[in-house]
């Protein structure tokens, strides 16, 4: 994990993080916490198939995930998810808070940053997905395809599997 060594407010050296992850600055008496960064991802379902993406960039370049990304500071998660899907593949996704079926803390990237992945099941009844720069390719897949895909993160595979299951078995 990326270490915090200096106080962002006054530039003094920080003490080692305490058991709760906070690092104290003795100079200005502030405490700095290392929190997980929230991400949003969406299994977009249409006609019994779900949309998966091939990552164009590191980390995990060439491997499979679902459309989504990091929330901006202060951004509503649903609005952030709609923004990410629109930016990445040009689709308007229908999704609400009831569609959140997954919350997974995991590490990300070469410095093992902690992120909290919020997974949703959404719908996009219209339009064809068009990948933007950070997506190499998109594909509609069915339940029979899921085991052979090279998932960047296992929880995305779980999310798509859940999205393609009957509604009563989506949560868990």
The binding site for Zn ion (CB under 5 A) comprises 7, 9-10, 12, 25, 27-28
DSSP secondary structure string, 76-112? -HHHHHHHHHHHHH----B--GGGEEEEEEEEETTTT
Give least dist CB 101 to Zn ion, A.
Answer: 41
Closest approach of Zn ion to the CB of residue 31, in Å: 10
59 vs 89: CA distance, rounded Å? 19
Block residue for tokens 């079926």: 101
User: φ, ψ for residue 95 (rounded to 5)?
Assistant: -155, 145
Minimum CB distance to Zn ion, residue 26 (Å): 8
Nearer to Zn ion (CB atom), residue 4 or residue 70:
4
User: Which CB, 32 or 70, lies closer to Zn ion?
Assistant: 32
Q: Which is nearer to Zn ion, 12 or 107 (CB)?
A: 12
Cα angle 8-11-17, degrees, rounded to a multiple of 5: 65
Least distance (Å) between residue 4 CB and Zn ion? 11
For Zn ion, which is the closer residue by CB, 9 or 37?
A: 9
Identify the CA nearest to 134 among candidates 81, 60, 73, 46.
60
């Amino acid at each position: 994990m990326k270490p915090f060594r200096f106080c962002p407010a006054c530039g003094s050296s920080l003490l080692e993080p305490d058991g709760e992850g906070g690092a104290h600055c003795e100079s200005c008496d502030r405490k700095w916490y290392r929190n997980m960064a929230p991400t949003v991802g969406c299994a977009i379902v249409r006609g019994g198939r779900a949309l998966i993406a091939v990552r164009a960039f590191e980390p995990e370049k060439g491997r499979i995930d679902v459309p989504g990304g990091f929330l901006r500071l202060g951004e509503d998660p649903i609005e952030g998810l709609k923004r990410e899907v629109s930016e990445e593949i040009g689709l308007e996704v229908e999704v609400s808070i009831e569609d959140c079926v997954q919350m997974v803390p995991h590490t990300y990237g070469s410095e093992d940053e902690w992120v909290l992945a919020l997974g949703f099941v959404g719908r996009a009844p219209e339009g064809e997905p068009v990948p933007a720069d950070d997506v190499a390719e998109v594909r509609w897949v069915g339940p029979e395809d899921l085991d052979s895909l090279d998932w960047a993160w296992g929880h995305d595979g779980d999310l798509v599997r859940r999205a393609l299951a009957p509604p009563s078995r989506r949560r868990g």
